[in-house]
Amino acid sequence: MQTSRWAEFPHPNKAFEYPDEALAKAWSQLHRGDQEPFPDRERVVALDPDGADPEATAHALQQAWRDYHAGRFAAAMDRAEEIGPIAHAVANKASGIYADYLEEDEQVRLAIYQNGIQRAEAAVRSFPNDANAHYFHAFLLGRYSQCISVTKALAEGVGGKIRKSLDRALKLAPDHAEALTASGLYHAEIIDKVGKLIGSMTYGASADKGLADCRKALKLTPDAPIAHLEYGNALYLLYGDKRLEESNQAYANAAAIQPIDAMQQLDMDYARTSMEE
């Protein structure tokens, strides 16, 4: 993927750097939402038992994640592509977050999502028991749907694919907060577009289930801006102005959190902008 023209993260922060052992020490907090295992030698061997140099691969994976957390999304993506298929999670998260927040060209954004979907499909085939292979497949399909319009994506059958991948991710990792948040948005967006009756009958969408998933994600990751932000989005999609105050409060909660990496900073920026609007 061509990353040379990717925009730079606008808020470089030394607090988002995790050099040497700092990454391992902060890993559980950084990845509470996506449940990604720490990429040490044992993890590399588990994913790629025939790899030539698992120590070197683990080191490269850790550096790719350092780049991601610091907001060097192009560098994270480049390193991940050099590493190969076992780096699918960092590649898909870095490219997905970059496209969400920093890419202004709609066609480039769409191409990033499509490339990520293909990468995720390959990861699902290669690593069927890796929760994040399934989660990022759903995540990128969801972003692709928003890019082309959720209604059009539903007509293409994307909704069923998202639901299948999210269900599999949550079966493998029941406390995957980001997958729970995505599940909540899945229910909310479908009901918003096709209504409760058709949403329930055709896609299994439920307002109660959507909000329950979002609230579980909030309970698991109360310090993650994205959990609050998407809860606010779900409330507005499902109830509009009737629960606008609660939706705005969720945005305010997201904006008040001290960020620990670039993604959280971008989530906070979006929440603040949304409140201003």
Q: Which sequence spans correspond to the domains of the chain?
A: 14-265
d(CA 172, CA 81): 25
Q: pLDDT at position 71, please? A: 98
Reported as a pLDDT band with limits 50, 70 and 90, residue 17 is very high
d(CA 39, CA 14): 22
Give the whole-number percent of the chain exceeding pLDDT 90: 86
Reported as a pLDDT band with limits 50, 70 and 90, residue 168 is very high
CATH class of 14-265: mainly alpha
Q: pLDDT at position 11, please? A: 95
Lookup: tokens for 213: 């998933």
Share the mean pLDDT of the chain: 95
Q: Is 124's pLDDT higher than 90?
A: yes
Mean pLDDT of 25-43: 98
Q: pLDDT at position 90, please? A: 98
Q: pLDDT at position 92, please? A: 98
Mean pLDDT of 101-118: 96
- From 257, 166, 161, select the one nearest 218 (Cα to Cα): 257
Mean pLDDT of 21-38: 98
Q: Is 102's pLDDT higher than 60?
A: yes
Q: pTM of the entire structure?
A: 0.95
Phi/psi for 246 (5° steps) reads -65, -40
Q: Is 200's pLDDT higher than 90?
A: no
Q: pLDDT at position 169, please? A: 98
Q: Is 276's pLDDT higher than 60?
A: no
Mean pLDDT of 258-273: 95
C-alpha angle 144-101-10 in degrees, rounded to nearest 5: 160
SS3 120: helix
d(CA 262, CA 268): 10
Residue type, 89: A
Residue type, 16: F
SS3 60: helix
SS3 248: helix
Alpha helix ranges (H) inside 127-243: 131-148, 150-155, 158-172, 177-194, 196-203, 207-220, 225-239
Q: Is 197's pLDDT higher than 90?
A: no
Q: What is the CA radius of gyration of the chain?
A: 18
